[in-house]
Structures are given as structure tokens and as C-alpha cells.
Amino acid sequence: MDFEAARQRLIVALDVSSRRDALRLADRLIEVVGCFKIGLQAFTSQGPALVKELTDRGGRVFLDLKMHDIPNTVAAGVEAAAGLGIEFLTIHTLGGPAMLKAARSGADRSGNARLKLLGVTVLTSLDASELASVGLPTDVRVLAPRLAKLAQSAGLDGIVCSPQDLAHLPKQDQGGFLRVTPGVRPAGAASQDQLRAATPEVAIRAGATHLVVGRPILQSHDPKEAAVQIVEAIRHARMEVK
């Protein structure tokens, strides 16, 4: 795998509130990463205008809103988000099959053929004790595959899960079904609030198709070089997988 192909698998989380900071980082990174993730922090403070500015610059956008509501509301929200020209959008699988199928319908109606819907399974900040506190099965090895199957059967294009959950996914999730993993930390980096993290190499070898990386790049003294190092790690790991 060459550098260009590897960089398309790196999604950088622009977890900042300032429009200026987001665009400055995007301008610096656009040639070495594949996509920019806009999450709750940036979208709440800057709104759809930031998405448009990024796409106008030629950036691909992953809109991480983790939609979770009644089916009709989610369908309308997905259709509206698709109109922004985004390429990825997250939906909470815990919303249930009717909601997930409604999300698929909303995406199909939008006319945005590039849009990939990703079902969020178990957040990387949740461990067994956190899951137990809200009454969910405490074994993530059971819960994550169950939610992945739910996303796939509803027609979603992939899932978002911890790299540690990848080994437990059923075989039929391979192929074109995307497996996007946050909680990725280069060797030696602090895990912070990501309780189930892994290095880029480990995540790719376990079957991740895309990696989401935020603070290890954003907080680096040289974000571009930090991104390049992660892309190289992806490239070498993909060569080993093949």
C-alpha cells in the first residue's frame, strides 16, 4: 500500500471550538490525511458553515453526531446532514432497528451517493462497570458484535467500535463493511479518557478499515508530522495484513 492509499484511512478529529483553529489545522493537514471529523464540539459552536468551508477546501468530512432519536426525526436529520456534502455520518445503534432503517431511508432519499452511514456500537470510554451502571450487558465481547450485526442488517455501511472489539466481530462483517476505530493512540501516548484504546498498528492488524485520531495529532508540537507518522504506521500494518 502506498502513502496516498494509506492516508485515506486516517480520519483526524477536529475537536476544537474555534473556526479559525479548525481551518488552520485542516489547511495544514489536508495533504496528509484522508478526512476530517467534525464532532459535537465543533458542530455546536460553528454549525454547518464549518462543514461547507472544509468541503470548499477539498476536504472530506466525517460528521460525528451520533444521532439517536425516534425514527422519523433521525431520517429527517440524516437527510439534512447528507445535504451538506459529507461522506460519513454516525448513528447510535442503541436506537434500535427501526431507527437504523429510517436512517438508511433518509440517506437514500438525500441523493448523496457518497454518504456512508456508520453505526456507533460501544463507546471507547465505556468499560464493564460503566455498562453495568446503565443496565447493559457487561461483556463488551457480546454487546459489540450484536450491535454490529444490527447495523449491518439495517443496511448501514459500517460501524464505529473500539479496536479491542474488532476481534470479536462476526466473519460476515468483513469485506465492504467499514470498521472505523477511535481510541487510537501511538505507542507511548496517554490513553486519557479512552479506556479501550490501541496503537494504529494493532488496530489495522485487527481489521480496522479507518482510524480516527484526535489529540495525539492536535496536541503535537508538529501536527503534520504526527499525522504522517500514523499514516506510515497504517501503510506498514496494511502491508503485513496482506
Per residue in 36-85, pLDDT (tens digit) is 999 999 999 999 999 999 999 999 999 999 999 999 999 999 999 999 99
Q: What percent of the chain has pLDDT over 90?
A: 75
Q: Which three cell numbers stand for residue 80?
A: 439534512
In angstroms, the Cα distances linking 62 to 19, 97, 230 are 16, 23, 18
- CA–CA distance, 89 with 61 (Å, rounded to integer): 9
| pLDDT tens track for 168-198 | 886 544 568 999 999 787 765 554 544 446 8
Positive or negative CA dihedral for 119, 228, 19, 194? positive
Q: Which residues sit opposite 2 in a β-bridge?
A: none
Q: What is the mean pLDDT of the chain?
A: 91
Say what the pLDDT of residue 139 is: 85
In angstroms, the Cα distances linking 73 to 78, 91, 100, 117, 155 are 9, 12, 11, 16, 18
Q: What is the mean pLDDT of residues 192-221?
A: 84
Say what the pLDDT of residue 173 is: 44
Amino acid (1-letter code) at residue 15: D
Q: Active-site residue numbers?
A: 66
Q: Which three cell numbers stand for residue 70?
A: 425516534
Q: pLDDT grade, residue 94 (50/70/90)?
A: very high
